[in-house]
Structures are given as structure tokens and as C-alpha cells.
Structure 1
Amino acid sequence: MPDRSVYPVQLIQPDGRRVLDREHAALVADVGPEQLRRMYEDMVVARRIDAEGTALQRQGQLGLWAPLLGQEAAQVGSAHALHADDYVFCSYREAGVAYVRGVDPSEITRLWRGVAHYCWDPNAVNMTNPNIIVGSQGLHATGYAYAAHLDGAEIATIAYFGDGGSSQGDIAEALGFAASWSAPVVFFCQNNHWAISEPVRVQSQTPIVRRAYGYGIPGVQVDGNDVLAVLAVTREAVARARNGGGPSFVEALTYRMGPHTTADDPTRYRPSAELEEWSRRDPIDRLHRLLERESLLDPEFEARVKAHADEVGHRVRTATIEMPDPAPMDLFDHVYATPHALITEQRREYAAYLAGDPSESAAPSEGVP
């Protein structure tokens, strides 16, 4: 991959016009009207899922929500570049990726409501659950990719993280291991310009993608609000990984238009003029303008997209509100993959406590403080 850190790859301008870039346009030459319309629909639905998640938290139905508003192109474009057998290791913001991977929208809020340790079955869609430990997914993706390589599986993994996560030691260690052992992993940094209240310049005085060069990993910087450009560069990175070429690094320049999480107030640290500037680069509006220019929009299609987004939003809301509270003993399920003596003892003591048996629950188990 060439050094694109000064001139990010772009195939669609904010006004919807295509960019002449023969090298990267060739990577998406097969993308016709139907796939463009499909990606547009996926982005609209992803935004609706996000809006519903934010509203549900504000209404007291979720404990927390990490919005993706403004990052739809980075998530949908990269997810469309993946094969079914590739494995996704996400952070806590990739609801759009989850939707494209086939996660049932009714499962997306389960963890955030606090009724389970997870949202969906990872192996059903080859994607991990939301990960709160910032940066650790880089190590998980690298280890999984290397193990798959040893097993002879010709797949790629992808690790999603933000500009703030790029400062974590786990990402540095993952880059070092992946480079040394040629692990087939794609490091996908969604540079949304803010790590909670700290601007990206605090994370790095140089484009983040250049960090990969120090490890001997090829990298590319892309306009993260251009779904077609994101699709192109991610396809290239995934193909490199699947064909034995080793790791790659993608820095998608995008913008977090909402708060870091619903526990955050971005008006306390972010200038309104910056938000207004990035709003003019809205990724959904950009693809909408392209579709308009190429006569791929009609009232029937737009009505169908809106109806689908409304239906998905309704499913998210209804499923969230109707989620049953877990049984108290469910607390001990899925802590370890195999039976564990300590968990077994704690389960017994807690059951006795719930049953009101002081003789069984008063004394702690050996080794438990």
C-alpha cells in the first residue's frame, strides 16, 4: 500500500461527485447500483439503531450507550469488505458492523440493558461482543488470526478501535506481534477526532497510520465518511491478509457527531463550529448525493428504506423494553468455558443465601476474601 497519510483515499466527494482514482476505483469496479443502494440502506438503518439506542438510554431503558452517529460509512463500508468466515473483534461502538454481519437488531441492546453478559452469540456471526477494555481487541484479533493461520484457515481478522485506543499498550503489542509473525489481521482505526474529551492531536502529533510503518506494516489513510473508499481500502487489506501477505493498518478519518457515550456531554469541550463543519461531510448525505447524481434514487426506494429503518428501530425498542430480567443464578453462567471449582462453590453459597440458609452462606469459601 502507498503512503496516503497526506492525501487520504477518496472516491466520493462531499457533494456526491466521484473522484478519479484509478488505483482504488479498480478495487470496487464490481460495485454496481444495487450494492450502492444496499450500502446506503445499511447506513440509514445503522443510524436508526443508534438513534434508538441513545433515546432508550435517555428514557432510562439502557444503562449506557456508545453512539456511532457520523461513523456509518466507516463501519458499513469496512463490514461489506469482509468475508463470512473472517472474524471481527470490535470495541463498544460497532453496532453498524454488527448489523451488517447479521446480528439480530433485537439482541444489540441486551448487554447495555444489564440483563446478560453478552448481546449475541459471537460464533453465529463471527463477531465478538462489545468490548469495554480499550485496545484489548487488538491482541485478541492478532492471536486469533495467528492461530487460524497455524490451523491452515485462509481467513482474515479485523480489529476495530479508535484514535484514543491507538494510545493503549495493547495496540502497540498487537502491532509488534502481528508484524513479527505475519498474522493475517487488519487494524482498523476509526479516527473520530475525540477520545472522550481529548482531541486527536493529544493522541498523536502525526497521522496515526504512520505508527504502523515503524512496525513494517503497510498502512493507508482513507476518508472515513466515504463508504466506497472505505470499502476499497478494506478489501485490499483483507485480501492481503487472506492471501498470506500479513497485517495491514487502515486509518479512517471520520467524526463522532454525538457524545463519547451517553454519560458524556460533548458541549463542554467541543466547539460547535467544528461539529457544523463535519456535519457538512455527513456520510449518509454524501452517498445520497451520489445516488441522486447517478439517477439511482426514486420515491419508492427512499420510502422502502425509511420503512425498513422504522421497522428495525421498532424491533430494537420493543425487544429492549420487553427483555426479561435474568434469574439471580444466571450470574454464574458463562464465567468460564469449563466447570470451575471456585465458581461452583460460589454458586452453592449464593443459592443458600437466596434460600435464607445462614449456615451455608455465612462463611466465605477458601481462597475467597
Structure 2
Amino acid sequence: MSHYDIAIVGAGIVGATLAAELAPHASVLMLESEDQPGYHSTGRSAAFWSETYGGPAIQPLTSASTAAFAAGGFLQPLGSISIGRAEDEAAIDAFMATFADTDVVLERVHPATLIPGLRDDWVLGVWEPSCAYIDVGGLHGAALGTAKRAGAVLATGAGLQAAERRDGRWRLSTAAGAFTADVLVNAAGAWADPVAALAGAGPLRIQPYRRTVVQMRTDPVAPETLPHVAGINHDFYFKPEAGGRLWLSPSDETPVDPHDCAPEELDVAIAIDRFEQVVDWRVAAVERRWAGLRSFAPDRLPVYGFDADMPGFFWAAGQGGFGIQTAPAAARMAAVMLLGRGEMPAGVDPMRYRPDRFLT
């Protein structure tokens, strides 16, 4: 039975980047239930990076990840504009005020200057120039490669079946065999609470939500200069993709049990209807549709830290829809907490993400 200092449940973007940080300093095992890492949330990401996405409590992790993204060449310019109608003035003002005390650059603009074919009632806009495309596959692959070169072991088809802590170490039963580890890291995404239950830890009410994305072609063809466009009331977004395609989402959040989810036809129809209320373009073809799971803690902030009641059990869960854009800084933060040494990312306060914040 192979023994490791740290076993990580999940080899999506969170588990992979954390393994890359830990592997030079500890023996690391990644336990991935699927045959291919990143099959669920990581592989179904909308693939954009926005400093405002997730709010001001997420922004420090996003901003602190910039250097790692830039060093790997994983970001490409995109820009984002949040738009509203005249009656949304208060929401626009609140959005601007939310980030007034940060370094995020936001500018009031008229959205018609950036969105061709915009319908006349959309008159309010906030421009976020730093928004960018993320090469999610490149980032995830690089993290897995870094971890493996440093000695980390990836076991696929290794869904956790049982976990028992005895004599200061974890005994782990998986579909790929048995292992032991000193520390067990829960980076299981939508399955975070079920994994905690297997280990005897109490749930943190990590709730998965289904989100739908549609890939389509429009008439006229979406221009390459189009930025990421989002409704100020969080009811849609769309962005251009290669070959004149457009990715569109109704920003749905339907609570579901963790599973390999698929899009609902109603959500696809809602997405297209909302899109057609924004621009006068015709939807020429829907080429593809998919859905992914976004998992949130009750306060919608991620959870990083050792469990308050279960020794040797570490949470790295509840990343919502911003797990990829925060992954480099979050992995560094979690590694410092796990190893008990190292320097925290600049501007990041790990206390706000601790699991014991839910204790009363």
C-alpha cells in the first residue's frame, strides 16, 4: 500500500494547481474518479478571466493570479462590458462602487460604442479592459505536467470509496486500489460534501448548480472585436469565439445533486430569447450546447483550510464559477496552509476562506 504525505481528491484545476505547488516539497497523490482529469467543471468552463467576477472578496485571488497566467501565456485580450437599461442605473452605480477601493479599472461607457447591433434600450455600460480569454486546457495541462515532473502521482479511475483516519494517517479505498496519506485534501468540486461524508467530516453545505452554455453562429457574424458582454443583473452573458462563433449563457443557477449534467432545452431557449432582446442579430445556427456544475458554499466564497473537527482533513472547495481564474493564487495560498511555510500571495487574506467560519 503506497503512502503519501498528501492525497488530493480531484484532479481538476484546483487539485492540479495545488499538486503543482505541493509536489516539490511533499509526496503527493491525486485521486481522480474519471478516466480523464478535468472532465466536469474544468473542461466545461466558459474560459474567461475577469477581476470583477465573483465580487470583491474573490478579486484578490483573481488579481494575485495574474502573474502566473501571464508567465504561462494563458491569457489573451478580450475586455468586458456590463450593460443595463435606463432603469438599471442603481445597479450600475452599485457595481462601480463595489470595486471603488480596489485596483480594478472600470469606466462608464455607452455600450453601443462597443456592441454593433445593440438595441436602443441598452444605454448603460461599464467597461472592464482587463478581462481576458483563458487557455483553460493549457493551464490545466501545465499544472498536471509540473506536478508530475516534481514527483506527484496521478491515479485516474480512482473514485474515493472509503476513508478512515487511524493512528494519525488516512487509509483510503478507491476504485484503483488502496493508499495511505497523512493529509487528505478535498478538491472534489461538486462532490465536496459527499467526499467529506466518506471521511467522517461534517458537510459545509457545498451546493452544486447547473449552468448552461450555447455555441452558435449569428447573422451578422459576431465580430472578433466584440468584448465579453454581460447583463448587469446577471441574467446573461456572451462572448466571441474562434471562427465567428459566439458562446452564450443565460447565467442560470439551478440547484442539482452532483452528477454528469446536461443542458435543459428550456435553458437554451431562455438564453437565445435574452440574447435576441439585446442585439438585432439573427441566431443562424446552434452548433453545440453543454452544461457544467458550479459549486458554492452558503456565503458564495470558496473554502480553504483544515476542517475544524476532523484532523488531517483539508477543504479546497466551493470555488463557484471562478475556480479557474483564481487557481494559481488559491493553490499557493492552500499550499502555504498545508505545508506551514512559504509566502502568501500578495493581498490575499486566507482567514476569509477558512471552513470554521460556518461554526456558530
* Fold shared by both chains (TM-score > 0.5): no
Q: Which structure is higher in helix share?
A: 1
- Which of the two has higher C-alpha Rg? 1
Q: Which structure is higher in strand share?
A: 2
